Amino acid sequence: MTARGFAETLSGAVIESIERRGKFLLFSLRGEDVHLVVNPKLTGRFQLCPPGAKKAGPVHVTFLFDQPPEELRYIDQKRMGQLYLTQTPQDVPTFSDMGPDALEVTREEFKQRLQSYRGEIKGILTRGALVSGIGNAYADEILWNARLHPYRKRTSLSLDETEALFHALRTTLVESTEQVRIAMKEDIHLKPREFFAVHMRGGQACPRCGTTISLVGANQRITNFCRGCQPGGLIRGM
Ligand SMILES: [Zn+2]
């Protein structure tokens, strides 16, 4: 759809609900058989602010509301994100490849689904097919909470470790959501991360055991973990 068609379709529309599915956002419009689906990828986010407020980053789309004083801006540093207007969100690329939401998957479902994946546990968590909604940073935090080395093979995990992983997944996301809520307040464009235990903490002391936190990889694919309390796994890239 062109920018013009996009604007025409949304003109006069009323947002009825906003829902998150994995990393996607779904805006439902009142009385319209069309959804606005946003895949923010790595750096897409929204800024809700009065018109004229300082831009929190490069603005690509601005939604103007009838009722001031606010407008909603889609900002994206890397311009990787995508916005779709569609009647069938399932048709949006990668939307239907997503596993169940990380906060909704049950323990049994998680354990059962995990059986069909091989390879390293961090990669399985971040790819989104097992469960959706876990990015690179939160995978590091979850694995640290579960005391699992990120490069452990899924097939090497014991039943207890699988249980620990499910528990860590749930608690990390629930507790982090609360931390983000407190730090973010109305500034929804912020990305609070000060509470992370290991991610982006390479070279610092592990808050659990004091060992220096390791760093592997570069750019958006950094992996941080603690060799002291997340032992095992094939060490690569070192
Ligand atoms: Zn440690």
**What is the distance between the alpha carbons of residues 19 and 37, in angstroms, rounded to a whole number?**
10
Cα-to-centroid distance, 198 and ligand 1 (Å): 9
Q: Give one DSSP letter per residue of 94-112, joined into a string.
A: TTTT--SBTTT--HHHHHH
Cα-to-centroid distance, 115 and ligand 1 (Å): 28
In a domain, 230, yes or no: no
Of 91, 122, 156, the one marking the end of a domain is 91
The candidate with the shortest Cα–Cα distance to 30, out of 6, 13, 12, is 13
**What is the distance between the alpha carbons of residues 100 and 107, in angstroms, rounded to a whole number?**
12
Q: Quick one: 117 and 159 in the same domain?
A: yes
Cα-to-centroid distance, 209 and ligand 1 (Å): 4
Q: Quick one: 151 and 213 in the same domain?
A: yes
Question: Could you report how far apart the first and last alpha carbons of the chain are, in Å?
Answer: 46
Q: Quick one: 163 and 59 in the same domain?
A: no
Cβ-proximal residues to 97 (8 Å cutoff; 6+ apart), any chain = 128, 129
Of 50, 66, 91, the one marking the end of a domain is 91
Domain extent at residue 155: 107-225
Domains contained in the chain, number: 2
Cα-to-centroid distance, 122 and ligand 1 (Å): 17
In a domain, 100, yes or no: no
**How many CA atoms lie within 13 Å of 214's alpha carbon, on the beta-carbon side?**
19
Cα-to-centroid distance, 119 and ligand 1 (Å): 23
Q: Quick one: 8 and 59 in the same domain?
A: yes
Q: Quick one: 21 and 79 in the same domain?
A: yes
Q: What is the pLDDT of residue 165?
A: 98
Q: Give one DSSP letter per residue of 149-208, joined into a string.
A: -TT-BGGG--HHHHHHHHHHHHHHHHHHHHHHHHHHTT-TT----TT-SSTT-TTSBPTT
Cα-to-centroid distance, 167 and ligand 1 (Å): 18
Helix axes 136-145, 159-184, angle to 10 degrees: 120
**What's the pTM value of the predicted model, to 2 decimals?**
0.87
Cα-to-centroid distance, 191 and ligand 1 (Å): 25
Q: Quick one: 80 and 152 in the same domain?
A: no
Residues lining ion ligand 1 (Cβ < 5 A) are 206, 208-209, 211, 226, 228-229
- For the domain that residue 54 is a member of, what is the CATH number? 3.20.190.10
Q: Quick one: 73 and 146 in the same domain?
A: no
Q: What is the pLDDT of residue 185?
A: 87
Cα-to-centroid distance, 144 and ligand 1 (Å): 8
Q: Quick one: 57 and 116 in the same domain?
A: no
- For the domain that residue 149 is a member of, what is the CATH number? 1.10.8.50
Of 91, 125, 160, the one marking the end of a domain is 91
Render each residue's pLDDT in the chain as its tens digit; 238 residues. Answer: 677 788 888 999 999 999 999 889 999 999 888 999 999 988 899 999 999 999 999 999 999 998 877 899 999 999 999 999 999 999 999 999 999 999 999 999 999 999 999 999 999 999 999 999 999 999 999 999 999 999 999 999 999 999 999 999 999 999 999 999 999 988 888 889 999 999 999 999 999 999 999 999 987 789 999 999 998 865 544 3
In a domain, 238, yes or no: no
**What is the distance between the alpha carbons of residues 30 and 134, in angstroms, rounded to a whole number?**
30
3-state secondary structure of 229: coil
